Structure 1
Amino acid sequence: MSDIDCLIIGAGVIGLACAAQMARAGNSVMLVEQERRIGEHTSSRNSEVIHAGIYYPPGSLKARLCVEGRDLLYAWCQAHGVNHRRIGKLLVAVTQAEVPALEALESNARHSGVDSLEVVSQARLRELEPAVAGVAALFSPQTGIIDSHGYMESLLAEAQRHGADLALDTRVERLAPGAQGWEVEGVSCAERFSIRARTVINAAGLFASQLAARVEGLAPGHVPATHWCQGRYFGYSGRSPFSHLVYPMPEANTAGLGVHATLDLGGQVRFGPDVAWTETLDYRVDESLREDFSHAIRRYFPAIDGQRLTVGYSGIRPKLSLPGQPAADFNIQGPEAHGLPGLVNLYGIESPGLTASLAIALHVLRLLERTT
Structure 2
Amino acid sequence: MDSIDTLIIGAGALGLACAARLARPGQSTLIVEAESLIGSHSSSRNSEVIHAGLYYPPGSLKAELCLEGRERLYTWCRTHQVAHRQLGKLLVAVESAEIARLEQLHENAEACGVHDLQRLTQAQLQELEPAVRGSCALLSPSTGIIDSHAYLQSLLAAAENRGAQLVLHTRVEHLRHDGEGWVASGNSSGEPFQLRAQLVVNAGGLFAQQLANQTEGLQDVPPLHLCQGRYFSYSGRTPFHHLIYPMPEANTAGLGIHATLDLGGQVRFGPDTRYLTQIDYRVDENLREPFANAIRRYFPELDSARLVPGYSGIRAKLAGPGEPPADFLIQTVNDHGLQGLVNLFGIESPGLTASLAIAERVAVSL
> Offset at 1:326?
2.0
Pair 1:169 & 2:163 matched: no
The counterpart of 1:341, out of the listed 332, 339, 342, is 339
> Offset at 1:345?
0.5
Cα RMSD between the aligned structures? Answer: 0.9
**Cα distance between partner residues in 1 of 2:134 and 2:26:** 52
> Offset at 1:25?
8.3
**Cα distance between partner residues in 1 of 2:83 and 2:125:** 28
Match of 1:316 in 2: 314
Superimposed CA distance per residue, residues 178-204 of structure 1 (whole angstroms, 9 cap, x where no aligned partner): 212201111111111111100110000
Match of 1:47 in 2: 47
Aligned partners of 2:257 and 2:269 also within 8 Å? yes
**Cα distance between partner residues in 2 of 1:171 and 1:126:** 52
The counterpart of 1:351, out of the listed 345, 349, 352, is 349
Counting only pairs closer than 5 Å after superposition, residues 1-372 of structure 1 correspond to structure 2 as 1-24=1-24, 27-219=27-219, 221=220, 223-368=221-366
**Cα distance between partner residues in 2 of 1:133 and 1:8:** 47
> Offset at 1:173?
1.4
> Offset at 1:252?
1.6
**Cα distance between partner residues in 1 of 2:256 and 2:250:** 10
Q: How high is the TM-score relative to the length of structure 1?
A: 0.97
- The SS at the match of 1:165 is strand
State the percentage of identical aligned residues. Answer: 64
**Cα distance between partner residues in 2 of 1:50 and 1:24:** 28
Aligned partners of 1:253 and 1:326 also within 8 Å? no
Runs of 4+ in structure 1 off by over 3 angstroms are 24-27
Amino acid at match of 2:272: D
**Cα distance between partner residues in 1 of 2:314 and 2:114:** 28
Amino acid at match of 1:36: S
Structure 2: unaligned runs, 5 residues or longer: none
**Cα distance between partner residues in 1 of 2:311 and 2:35:** 19
- The SS at the match of 2:163 is coil
> Offset at 1:324?
1.4
Taking structure 1 as reference, are residues 27 and 134 closer, same or farther at Cα in structure 2, changes over 3 Å only? farther
> Offset at 1:229?
0.3
**Cα distance between partner residues in 1 of 2:120 and 2:278:** 42
Aligned partners of 2:25 and 2:163 also within 8 Å? no
**Cα distance between partner residues in 2 of 1:211 and 1:248:** 37
Report how many aligned residue pairs link the two structures: 366
Superimposed CA distance per residue, residues 294-335 of structure 1 (whole angstroms, 9 cap, x where no aligned partner): 000000001101011011000000000011122110011101
Superimposed CA distance per residue, residues 200-254 of structure 1 (whole angstroms, 9 cap, x where no aligned partner): 10000001111100000112x2x00011000000000111100000000001221
Aligned partners of 1:170 and 1:188 also within 8 Å? yes
- The SS at the match of 1:280 is coil
> Offset at 1:12?
0.6
Aligned partners of 1:331 and 1:347 also within 8 Å? yes
**Cα distance between partner residues in 2 of 1:294 and 1:25:** 53
> Offset at 1:168?
0.5
**Cα distance between partner residues in 1 of 2:240 and 2:156:** 34
Amino acid at match of 2:295: I
Aligned partners of 2:90 and 2:244 also within 8 Å? yes
> Offset at 1:143?
0.2
- The SS at the match of 1:102 is helix
- The SS at the match of 1:139 is strand
**Cα distance between partner residues in 1 of 2:47 and 2:200:** 30
**Cα distance between partner residues in 2 of 1:116 and 1:59:** 18
Taking structure 1 as reference, are residues 59 and 101 closer, same or farther at Cα in structure 2, changes over 3 Å only? same
Amino acid at match of 1:3: S
- The SS at the match of 1:281 is coil
Aligned partners of 1:332 and 1:345 also within 8 Å? yes
> Offset at 1:153?
0.2
Q: How high is the TM-score relative to the length of structure 2?
A: 0.99
> Offset at 1:27?
4.2
Deviates more, 1:149-158 or 1:183-192: 183-192
Amino acid at match of 1:277: Y
**Cα distance between partner residues in 1 of 2:302 and 2:24:** 48
**Cα distance between partner residues in 2 of 1:182 and 1:11:** 19
> Offset at 1:28?
2.1
**Cα distance between partner residues in 2 of 1:25 and 1:41:** 30
**Cα distance between partner residues in 2 of 1:236 and 1:282:** 22
> Offset at 1:5?
1.3
Aligned partners of 1:254 and 1:326 also within 8 Å? no
Aligned partners of 1:254 and 1:325 also within 8 Å? no
Aligned partners of 1:232 and 1:285 also within 8 Å? yes
